[in-house]
Structure 1
Amino acid sequence: MTETPVLPVYMRRNGFDPARELADLRDGQGVALVDSPFGHPVWLVTRLADVRQVLGDATRFGNTDLPLLRMPGAPSFTEQEKAAMRAGNLLAFDPPDHTRLRKFLTPEFTVRRIRRLEPRIAEIVADHIDAMARTGPPADLVADFALPVPSLVICELLGVPYADRDEFQGHASRLLDVSAPIGERLATQRAARAYMAELVARAMAEPGDDLLGMLVREHGDDLSADELAGIGSLLLVAGHETTSNMLGLGTLALLEHPDQVRLLRAEPERIVDAVEELLRWLTVVHTGVARCATEDTELGGKAIAKGDLVVCSLPAANRDSAVLADPDAFDITRGNTGHVAFGHGVHHCIGAPLARMEMRIAFPALLNRFPALRAAGPEVDFRGHQIVYGLASFPVTW
Structure 2
Amino acid sequence: MIYFDNSATTKPYKEVIESFVKVSNDYFANPSSLHKLGGQAEGLINQARNQLAQLLNIKPREIYFTSGGTESNNLAIKGSAMMYKNRGNHIISTTIEHPSIRESLEQLKGQGFEITYLPVTSEGRINIKELKESIREETILVSMIHVNNEVGSIQPIREVGEILKKYPKILFHVDHVQGVTKVPLDFHECGIDLCSISAHKFHGLKGNGLLFIREGLRISPLLTGGNQEWTIRSGTENVAGIVAMAKALRLSTEKMEKELPNVVNVKKIIIEELKKENEIIIHTPFENSAPHILNFSIKGFKSEVVVHALEESNIFVSTTSACSSKIKTVSHTLLGMGVDEEIAKSAIRISLSFENTDVEARKVIKALQQTIQKLGRTMINNEV
Higher relative contact order (CA 8 A, sep 6+): 1
Bigger Rg, structure 1 or 2? 2
Which structure has the highest helix share of the two? Answer: 1
> Normalising TM by the smaller chain, what interval?
under 0.3
Higher relative strand content? 2
Relative to the length of structure 1, the TM-score reads 0.25
